[in-house]
Chain A
């Protein structure tokens, strides 16, 4: 009687999973690391919420209006620095301020334009321009306070006048919560499969269990496939706890913001929490990233002489580029670089998962990001095929 290949594959899959589930540290790693990452962020941002309601921020101001309302608003801001948590307030000309904006080194810039008073008097409305680095929590909070203060000040002087405040962001618009989700999910997903993949390939060779396994009546491709599926299933534990971590993180932000005034509470919740509707998409992108990381891990593990070497090379090969693109993605500027650095960033497969996720969360999907996802999938397939080739060669046991 012969067992068919599929049954053998499942047989091996069960053993792979059973072995890992008995490795308490590996299992705990899958569960604890995503929870820890998100709970740490929750605690950190709760601290930030507190900071942005108590800490002062540097604000640049340009007053081009000689009229009473423009000068009056400037004087009022200057007279309420403590209440507005501004320290210092620096008066600069437009050219200088625009230079700071161009360099992404501007926290908050308040521009009271030339015709500010005239428009308020003649048309009943005018514009106050705020440039804000929304990646800077205190700057965002300071700008929000100036916004409310300016409306209140102008309305107090002449109730029929309407001040329109235009916000411009120094970094592309995206909520902090979503940027954080992209950063953490990508960074941790890339590293999650490394312990299992290293153990399952380089580890089996190092412990001399691979040789006997390769003699069983089962093709190497099937053996490889079983290990890949087991890796994917095991890292799904990681994905599930990532979702648990995100929900717990959201809860921690909501609980912290609850004590703030209604507007501020809503503002912080919108800014920092991850929209629950986006979780399936995050899960999908994480799946692609996990699969790609497993493909790269298999290639490295088939070439490395032992498990610890495989794990070290894996971490080194994946962590550095992922940190680079993770941080770029976190600040919202992943696609802005050209030249060799830009090419390097675009060659990293995980870049495209971040760009795609970023675009979907912002509501605009471009053809380039679809091509990028195709590149990520192609890269993954190429590495899985390369891994299969390496697994097939004689040197795998020699």
Chain B
């Protein structure tokens, strides 16, 4: 069953006391992650929530090996993110928060280029590209250079690009930002399908709490680098005596209006 919490399912992501400190000059330090303990199971759609600067992007960057932890440990697919990053990178993909796209390449070329790094045979890569472009509704424009696309269309190409390698874990930092309502629905349906039918783990950050409620099996709320709550949306509402997830989130971040059961 999806959405099982830590200990009830095979954990593909485990962090223990994960801390990341950025040095800003000689005297100032910024604690981006503060002793984060987290487990995410295989096939889960896990939502990372938090205000801007809470540490969501930093957590994702540590888990894909772009940043090195200052303290604590993190493992992905049973491998340490510092020691075995090559193993991890073969099996995960990332849609960064402000992911750019190669505008002089076509939609098809963008997908094929990215997939090419993973040793996927060309004909298989081509089949997956056709399939994903069909799903996101861009098959008709596959040979157009991406520079002619709208922001939402580019985002769809990027979502497809993150899925082209059929990763075991997909990290998506705000995947529907800038996508129109219909496009966002397409992306959400795609993520649901990837999660439910293919049992891929999806870690996504978003500011859209409806999206979280619709997609995520569990959520984790980060505030000032600390993981202040983890659980299913329904559990959190019950735990904090809130009418909806927005109340939980606002209360935990601002410290007002939530009462712990």
Interface residues of A (CB under 8 A from B): 1-3, 8, 11-12, 15, 18-19, 22-23, 204, 207-212, 214-218, 394, 397-398
Contact = CB atoms under 8 A, between A and B. Distances in A.
A1 B89 contact: no
Interface string B102-126: 1111000100011011111100000
Contact of A2 (B105, B119, B161): B119
Interface of B: 22, 61, 64-68, 86, 89-90, 92-96, 98-105, 109, 113-114, 116-121, 145, 161
B98 A208 contact: yes
Nearest to A218: B117
Contacts of B66: 211, 214-215, 394, 397
A64 to B, nearest CB: 73
Contacts, number: 77
A217 B118 contact: yes
A260 B62 CA distance: 74
Q: Which 6 A-B pairs have the closest CB atoms?
A: A3-B119, A208-B100, A207-B100, A209-B100, A216-B117, A22-B104
A3 B117 contact: yes
A11 B116 CA distance: 7
Contacts of A11: 113, 116-117
B64, B90, B100, B113 — most chain A CB neighbours (10 Å): B100
B104 A208 contact: no
A208 B68 CA distance: 20
A12 B115 CA distance: 11
A198 to B, nearest CB: 15
Nearest to B171: A215
Given A209-B99, A212-B96, A214-B66, A19 B89 contact: no
A19 B93 contact: no
A283 B161 CA distance: 41
B89 A217 contact: yes
Contacts of A204: 100
Given A3-B116, A215-B89, 10 more contacts: A1-B120, A11-B113, A15-B105, A208-B99, A209-B99, A209-B102, A211-B66, A211-B94, A215-B66, A218-B117
A141 to B, nearest CB: 51
B22 A211 contact: no
B104 A19 contact: yes
A277 B31 CA distance: 63
Contacts of A212: 94-96, 99-100, 114, 161
